Amino acid sequence: MKPELVEIDSRVVGRNVIAIRDFDPAVDFADFERGYMARFDPVYASCKIPMERVADIHVLEDAGFRLIEFQIRSSVKLHRPFDVSAYDYDFEPVTDEAELEDVLEIAGRTFTHDRFSADTALDPAISGARYRAYVCHSFHAPDEAVYRLTDRSTRRTVAFKTHRYVSRNEVLFLLGGVHPGMKSLGIGLINEYFEFNELIRKGIRRGTTHISASNYPVFNLEIGKLGFRVLTSFAVMRKVYC
């Protein structure tokens, strides 16, 4: 069991944010907590526990942690491209700062089902700033990519996707969002189709993702329509310090 500084979250929040990895119920948690408090002085700590490990969840509850999200890890095999000829959109990598700013404008406003926006103990502005920061990281990271879906006639950015290449034939899906003024128009599904096609073209054959179970539109989209298979689920526990 070890605490890790989450650099992007810490930068956005303005104080240290940590994630507890490899939770071990055999470790004296009170002593462990005193150790990471002395080392990091965090304002926020989180830990993911597989849902079947209920006793471990109770250990964290006894230490003042609270459930903030139920998260699902799922995967999909990428083997057959989708026919996108009927859609008047282009899906292209973001290559300059002007294109990135269009994506950041969406990322800062589109997410409403994440644990940071749902947490009444936190400033609500943190959520949007956090997602902007993660998209910026993907833009600069050599193993990640940012793509945008644009209206072919107006060149307007209507959606975006980010992912990380974890091997020659596998990606981790990171973020995806639709312009807030264009939700409920089916663009989320189109965005997924185009991303899948681009990844298949690049030789990617498998993708994994994490979603909040409360994000019903994405849950139904990926599990119900795109063939994602659930691998495991987590209770995301958090504690906020003064």
Query: Which tokens hold the place of 135?
Result: 């998209």
Residue 228: per-residue pLDDT: 95
Tens digits of per-residue pLDDT, 163-198?
A: 999 999 999 999 999 999 898 889 999 999 999 999
Output the average pLDDT for the chain. Answer: 95
Looking at the structure, give the CATH architecture of the domain made up of residues 76-232. 3-Layer(aba) Sandwich (3.40)
Q: Which residues of 224-234 are buried (b: 16+ CB within 10 A; e: fewer)?
A: eebebeeeebb
Band of residue 215 on the pLDDT scale cut at 50, 70, 90: confident
Q: Does the reported pTM lie above 0.85? A: yes
pLDDT at 113 > cutoff 90: no
Q: CA angle at residue 195 from 180 to 19, to 5 degrees? A: 70
Tens digits of per-residue pLDDT, 17-73?
A: 999 999 999 999 999 999 999 999 999 999 999 999 999 999 999 999 999 999 999
Tens digits of per-residue pLDDT, 122-171?
A: 998 999 999 999 999 999 999 999 999 999 999 999 999 999 999 999 99
pLDDT at 224 > cutoff 90: no
Domain edges within the chain: 2-71, 76-232
